[in-house]
Amino acid sequence: MQVDSSIEKSVPLALANLADPELVASGCPRRARWQIDLLLLALEALDLGGSEAMLGVIQELELQPLIPNRVALWRLRCTNPFRRFSQRRTLTLEEAKALVAIACVLARRQMVSIRELLIIYEQLQTQSLNPEDSVQLAEYLDRFRRHFRSRMNLRRSGLVVYTANEKLNDLALKLLGQLLFCTGTAGMQRLWTSLFDGEVV
């Protein structure tokens, strides 16, 4: 099958190393859409200016053909089926690649903070203390819980468990590990592949 050259040229260079997964014809699976949006949510909880930072990365990576503005970014994230205002449209593979690129760039920029929070968490565990016994960790967890509850549809059966703070804290901490995963060697490619093979750590 011949590839339309006009489409091929429109793919931003930053996404060139992200191969289309096998057995996925076009749209991004719902599990991957959920996972990508969660990573972006965690990044917003880490950085109060996270939303603006995402728009900055879009310009830096020249992703405007896929995400021209703030509203377009919001609509892509709302393809997560668990959002309050979930969009019925699918998320194309190219759009998903763009969101993954944004997440990985921001994760690298927040790497020091992510590592610090994970170290604090490990230290608290060894002392049998709660994550919220650390001011830094408590602030991140609180922001994540507020973001999650304001944006996700907690009436969905799959999200009922997250009415409990403890479960949301566990999710927020797990996402820190996933963000650190994004910062490693070939982190973007590894994250992209893992979204389709279930190997996100």
What pLDDT is recorded for position 163? Answer: 92
pLDDT of residue 9: 43
Cβ-contact 138, 169 below 8 angstroms: no
Only one residue has tokens 């879009």, namely 58
What is the per-residue pLDDT for 1?
A: 36
Residue 4 above 50 pLDDT?
no
Smallest Cα–Cα separation from 87: which of 159, 144, 26, 33? 33
Of residues 11 and 139, which shows the higher confidence score? 139
User: Does position 123 have pLDDT exceeding 90, yes or no?
Assistant: yes
Mean pLDDT of 119-133: 94
**How far is Cα 91 from Cα 108, in angstroms, rounded to an integer?**
24
More reliable by pLDDT, 20 or 122: 122
Residues 131 and 137 sit within 8 Å (Cβ to Cβ): yes
